[in-house]
Amino acid sequence: MEILDSMARFGHEQVAMYNDPNTGLRGIIAIHDTTLGPSCGGTRMWPYESETDALADALRLSLAMTYKSAAAGLNLGGGKGVIIGDPRTQKSESLLRSWGRFVDTLGGRYLTTTDVGTNGRDLESIHQETRHVVGLDVTLGGSGDTSIMTGLGVYMGIKACAGDAWGSDSLRGRTIAMQGFGKVASHTAKHLLDEDARVIATDISEDALGKAKSMGVQVVGAEEIFDTPCDIFAPCALGGVINKDSIQRLSCRIVAGGANNQLATEADGEELQRRGITYAPDFLINAGGIINVSTEIGQPYNPDRARQQTERIYEQMSAVLTTSRNKEISTARAAELLAETRLADVRRVRGIFRG
């Protein structure tokens, strides 16, 4: 991969790479855009097959974080950190503290939090070496578990789509098929079950499946979920699951879930539109986590404020649906337009010019 060419293609400002032979740490931080404020995004630890794959993931995810924060009305830019390694066998305090030192070299241009492969305890280790950490436990002055608000935001997005599709946002009796049942999905499922919806789920983790069963969720096989008749299909695992092959198998009216980068290509969003399937753009409805941590930056964390801002995802999703219909564009493009418009407006105010 030609790094500078890739950065220019997607509009990235900075890519920093780090190697620490003392701890085995190999990592990348991608900063996409700081128009609205410092970049913010989680640290992901994953056993990537190559450095090229890790860089591609960092670039893609940091871009999505720019759109996520901009669309949510936050004064944050988009960033993402990736550590190359298996979190089950290669994670250590020394590696995480080394990562914290790396984050600190950027002087606050990048604020980190949790992502796939990292957790709250890991943040505590990172925090030993840098103050540029958000999402710490509430006992340490942070906002705590981001998955709680993320799950609420996904639920609000689902309800907005239901109201548009069926004339009522009630989910009573509706069937939701969840592909992945991690922390975000389980919090979303709780809201759905409280509303007497029927939830079907799958996951590659036996622990996750056990939790699903304990909540009264029906469990099916990992591949079976795509063929499960449902009203709403909710991707809640890794990205790229909505693609030309999986779309052919879906029998739903709405696609709305917590996973990042659900569409394999832009064309897949247009294909959903053509088939009459409403797509809730992931960066719009899964913004509850970044909203939650944003409320602790420069001020004491206020959970009520975080909840109020997260619940506005309902209104934002409704606005995107209206724009999609009025402009005859996909909901994915309508959500991007919402973010791009805000970024352009702020650039004009600040006299920032980008090619």
Q: SS3 of 41, please?
A: strand
Supply the pLDDT for residue 260. 87
Active site residue 211: no
Each as own residue / partner, the long-range contacts of residues 4-7 (CB below 8 Å, 24 or more positions apart, any chain) are: 6/55, 6/56, 6/59, 7/59
Torsion angle of the four alpha carbons 149, 151, 156, 160, in this order, in degrees rounded to the nearest 10: 140
**Rounded Cα gap, residues 32 and 35, in angstroms:** 10
**Rounded Cα gap, residues 90 and 25, in angstroms:** 9
Other CB atoms closer than 10 Å to residue 347's CB: what's the count? 15
**Rounded Cα gap, residues 80 and 92, in angstroms:** 20
SS3 content of the chain, % helix, strand, coil (to 5): 45, 15, 35
Q: What mean pLDDT comes out for the span 144-161?
A: 95
| Lowest mean pLDDT, pick from 118-122, 154-158, 237-241, 305-309 | 237-241
Query: pLDDT band at residue 354, thresholds of 50, 70 and 90?
Result: low
The tens digit of pLDDT for each residue in 268-283 reads: 999 999 999 999 999 9
Query: pLDDT band at residue 1, thresholds of 50, 70 and 90?
Result: low
Alpha helices in 215-330 (DSSP H): 244-249, 266-274, 282-285, 288-294, 303-311, 313-327
DSSP one-letter string for 107-165: TTSEEEEE-TT--HHHHHHHHTT-S-B----GGGTS---HHHHHHHHHHHHHHHHHHHH
Supply the pLDDT for residue 78. 97
Supply the pLDDT for residue 341. 95
Instruction: Give Cα 200 to chain centroid, integer Å.
Output: 21
**151 within 8 A of 258, measured Cβ to Cβ:** yes
Q: What is the pTM assigned to this prediction?
A: 0.89
Supply the pLDDT for residue 355. 57
The tens digit of pLDDT for each residue in 141-150 reads: 899 888 999 9
Query: pLDDT band at residue 309, thresholds of 50, 70 and 90?
Result: very high
Supply the pLDDT for residue 96. 98
Q: What mean pLDDT comes out for the span 292-319?
A: 93
Q: What mean pLDDT comes out for the span 107-122?
A: 94
Q: What mean pLDDT comes out for the span 179-201?
A: 97
The tens digit of pLDDT for each residue in 37-85 reads: 999 999 999 999 999 999 999 999 999 999 999 999 999 999 999 999 9
Catalytic residue among 68, 80, 159, 211: 80
Q: Higher-confidence residue: 140 or 158? A: 158
Q: What is the mean pLDDT of the chain?
A: 95
**Rounded Cα gap, residues 264 and 317, in angstroms:** 21
Question: In the chain, pLDDT over 90 holds for what percent of residues?
Answer: 88
Supply the pLDDT for residue 35. 96
Torsion angle of the four alpha carbons 10, 185, 177, 286, in this order, in degrees rounded to the nearest 10: -30
Query: pLDDT band at residue 298, thresholds of 50, 70 and 90?
Result: confident
**Rounded Cα gap, residues 185 and 217, in angstroms:** 11
The tens digit of pLDDT for each residue in 324-350 reads: 999 999 999 999 999 999 999 999 988
Structural domains of the chain, with CATH:
3-65+75-144 (3.40.50.10860), 147-286 (3.40.50.720)
Q: Walk across the sheet containing 14-20 and list its strands.
A: 14-20, 25-33, 77-84, 39-46, 110-114
